[in-house]
Structure 1
Amino acid sequence: MTRRPATPLPPPKERRHLRETTALTQAQLAERVGVAPGTVRAWESGRTTPRGRKREAYAKLLKTLAEEAAAGRAARDPASGPRNAAGANRTGPEPEAHPEPEAHPQPAPHPEPDPRPEPEARPEPEGHPQTLPEPASEPLPEPRPAPVALTPAQAFDALYEFGAPALVRQTYLLTGRREQARESVERAFQTAWEHWPEVARDRDPVGWVRAAAYEYALSPWQRLRPRHRRPEPPPADPGDRTLLNALLRLPPRHRRTLVLYDGVGLDLPETAAETEASTPAAAHRLLHAREAVADRLPALADPQVLHRRLAELASNERLGAARPPSVRRGGERRARFRTRAAIAFTVALIGTTALTLRTAPTHYEPPVSPGQAVRGVPPRVAQGSLSDEEQELRRKLRDQWQGGPERLRPGLE
């Protein structure tokens, strides 16, 4: 049984562009596909990919949006159609005019006029014939050894060594804490190692890890950790200290947008996709963040100067990262711990269920209703304790022989 190939989809950036070109919101597009708005947001950011019937419906809707956008462009520029048609008519006969010299098959035993003079001038010794495999000496360096397929661990190590140092510096701009930035990046790479097949096929693996690191670093529960209550030493340079304080005063979403756009250098649609916001919302956040920084530091009103100062602030701090093998081993230990915890919880649940089934009653016993007083009937009085004489009499009666003739024939007095 063969599986039908999946319906092709445009890249995530083009999906968002098609939706915004046709003036559709994520909620409207989600309603037309039949999913939640958060699902559409994840599709446009590239974090998840639709499957099955939802993928077919989404691809069909995107195709319709592309046709509507093309029709709208054609309506706005009606001259483009005839121009293209005329161009097609002009370019049509050109390929047929080129083979015209081939219609005169003149015998040309020596193809000296046709080849370029440079290739023929290379073999300087004239004694060598033209058929001498002299060009074979040039391709010798060209054949390169076939690329060796990297193992998943080697590919992960290469990705970590390439992206970890820059991601630690970027995360430091978001948190202002060196250890938290380092831990966030390591935790993001551990998550990437757990989902390595998905990350390896992603069009931007560094962006995948960056989004995970930013989410972990800006999580609200970080404030509850005891380490967060202890302040870290600020940067040594007063200018860097002022800029870092201005960044930390921004709301987390504005700070993240500013770092992605002016620090990392992403364009506005990519910034909006990574922050899971619309493009106008990302633009407003960026403008507000720039205004807030410019109010405290007027010299950074120019975006170019701000970009340079953010790079300098991140580079002045010595922020190291752990080695890739230790990060992978840490992720594997966390995965084993979670697996064992899940197994232990499952075993405890099964044991509790078995104990309950073993000790539970097998039949229903109706509860005894409480007694009620009946008018005219005295309450039943329980027998009280025996006196000493009564207890002595009862003991004597029990100790005597019960089957003797004395009980049958009473004796004469």
Structure 2
Amino acid sequence: MTRTPETPLPSPKERGRLREAQSLSQADVAAAVGVTRATVRSWENGRTTPRGTTRDAYARLLTGTEGVTPRQETPAPALVGAATGPVQTSSDRVEPTPEPPSETPPASELAPQPHPDLGPDPAVGPKPEPGPDAELEPLSPSLTPDQAFDALYAFCAPALVRQTYLLTGRRELARESVERAFQLAWHRWPEVAMDRDPAGWVRATAYEFALSPWHRLRPRHRNPEPPPAAPADRALLDVLLQLPPVYRRTLLLYDGVGLNLPETAAETEASTPAAANRLLHAREAVATRLPELAEPKELHRRLAEVASAERLHAAKPTTVRWGGEQRARHWTRAAIAFTVVLIGATTLTLRTAPDHYEPPLAPGATVHGVPPRVAPGPLSAEELALRAKLKGEMVSGPERLVPEAG
């Protein structure tokens, strides 16, 4: 059986450039190919790759062989309007209606249930339904970088700490993961500020750090932390921690945070059918241990209760920014010190290394004709008697000759 070769596609960065060269938005491409805008965004980010007839149509559109008329785009409100105002985020919940794969469950079975106790987060709570052509603007230019960062932190950090706690079951690790994610965001603030979903960028970074397998090597993470006080909360958290990390993350994003299925698949770097199967298996595992949570709405409500019962608090944004700057300054100094040591060691080697050829010494040769060195042997009986006699006599006695001064 022969396999038809797939249509070649340009690199992910080239896909976005070709789309912009034709004055097309991601929504235009999504409508022409028959997918969601989140799927097109994941194609251009390199997270997923189209297949089959969708791949052929996408390749023809990028090469210009299939014409698409750009539509008039209506910009949505800015992500951050003021330092103390609410933050509005992107939402791609408008999904097409192509025939889903057989393994993908129906949308009614996987309806996400957002809840404010796991928010405010860009995907928590009811989100506005923008038009299919709506495009988000970057962070408001009227804010300084410090104000924009503080507004994003105040909006996302409290909910993100609770979400990360459900993901890891560790309070300190949850706070540390969120702080590290925001410190990295502050270090790359120009990139994050221009991102279409800054809160999603920070959330993905915090989840990646929290689920890192290297934490098990740290001494303070070898022993488990005290579980929740309520038996029901402790049982639910135990079930979550027994799930594979990718299943746990999919369940939290969909049933806890409230992302839709394409967004969950894009953030977990999986296809939509794979994300749906992971979600169903995770729900089945939870329902097997806790039958009262078989209903998705009840599961979401319990997730929100467990997250809010711990009353986890995030650090202040100024502390996070200062910590990020201190960390960057520390690593910069360490890199400079290492470079100086390396340069010094190289210079010392160049100065002390020989600059000309020195022939090796010839091996030693045996010298013949030299009598062997003889050591004095033991004294005889007569010699021993004479030595004792000389030691026992006076120095000035008549038997001894003592030199006198002339």
Do these two structures clear the TM 0.5 threshold for a shared fold by scoring above it?
Answer: yes
Residue 63 of structure 1 aligns with an amino acid whose one-letter code is L
Say if 2:28 and 2:68, in contact at 8 Å, map to a contact too: no
Q: SS in structure 2 opposite 1:216?
A: helix
1:128-176 deviation line (CA, Å, top 9, x unaligned): xxxxxxxxxxxxxxxxxxx982111111011100000000000000001
- The structure-2 alpha-carbon separation of the partners of 1:148 and 1:335, relative to structure 1 and needing over 3 Å to count, comes to closer
Corresponding position of 1:359? 352
Q: Distance in 2 between matches of 1:294 and 1:305?
A: 11
1:302 maps to what in 2? 295
Displacement of 1:380: 2.9
Choose from 218, 233, 236 the match for 1:240: 233
* Alignment deviations for residues 1-45 of structure 1 (CA, whole Å, 9 cap, x no partner): xxxx96554777987998896xxxx9xx9xxxxxxxxxx878145
Answer yes or no: is the 8 Å Cα contact 1:263–1:307 preserved in 2: yes
Question: What are the superposed Cα offsets for residues 224-247 of structure 1, whole Å, 9 maximum, x if unpaired?
Answer: 111112322211221111111000
Amino acid at match of 1:230: N
Could you say if the C-alpha distance between residues 175 and 148 of structure 1 is closer, same or farther in structure 2, counting changes exceeding 3 Å?
A: closer
Whichever of the two has the greater Rg, that structure is 1
**Which residue of structure 1 aligns with residue 153 of structure 2?**
160
Number of aligned residue pairs: give it.
278
Kindly provide the amino acid, as one letter, of the partner of residue 367 in structure 2: R
Which residue is 1:43 aligned to? 45
Task: List gaps (5 residues or longer) in structure 2.
Answer: 1-15, 49-57, 70-95, 100-139, 376-406
**RMSD of aligned Cα (Å):** 3.8
2:320 aligned with 1:327: yes
Partner of 2:279: 286
Distance 1:305 1:65 in 2: 49
Q: Following TM superposition, by how much is the alpha carbon of 1:383 offset from its aligned partner in structure 2, in angstroms?
A: 5.7
**Hey, what does 1:176 align to over in structure 2?**
169
Does 2:251 align with 1:258? yes
CA contact (8 A) 1:254 1:289 kept: yes
Q: For 1:155 and 1:382, how far apart are their aligned partners in 2?
A: 96
Letter in structure 2 aligned against 1:380 = V
| 1:224 corresponds to 2:217 | yes
Return closer, same or farther for 1:297/1:18 CA change in 2, 3 Å cut-off. Answer: farther
Task: Say whether residues 1:212 and 2:211 are aligned partners.
Answer: no
1:380 aligned to 367, 370, 378, which one? 367
Distance 2:271 2:371 in 1: 87
Sequence identity, in percent?
Answer: 66
TM-score, normalising length: structure 1? 0.59
* Residue pair 1:13, 1:269 contacting (<8 A) in 2 also: no
Structure 1 residues 187-198: aligned runs within 5 Å: 187-198=180-191
1: distance between equivalents of 2:43 and 2:212?
20
Please, which runs of 5 or more residues in structure 1 have no aligned partner? 30-39, 47-58, 77-146, 374-378, 389-413
Q: Is the 8 A contact 2:216 2:222 kept in 1?
A: yes
TM-score normalised by L of structure 2: 0.60
Q: What is the CA-CA distance between 1:257 and the residue it aligns to?
A: 0.7
- Give distance in 2, aligned partners of 1:348 and 1:359: 16
Structure 1 residues 325 and 177 mapped into 2: Cα distance closer, same or farther (>3 Å)? same
- The 3 A distance-change label for structure 1 pair 41 and 229 is farther
**Mapped partners of 2:241, 2:178: distance in 1:** 19
Partners of 2:152 and 2:199 within 8 A in 1: yes
Greater length-normalized contact order (CA 8 Å, ≥ 6 residues apart): 2
Judging by fraction of residues, say which structure has more helix: 1
When residues 380 and 167 of structure 1 are mapped into structure 2, their CA distance, relative to the original with a 3 A threshold, is: same
* Cα distance, 1:381 vs structure 2: 3.5
Question: Where does residue 63 of structure 1 map in the other structure?
Answer: 62
Task: Measure the CA separation in 2 of the matches of 1:381 and 1:194.
Answer: 80
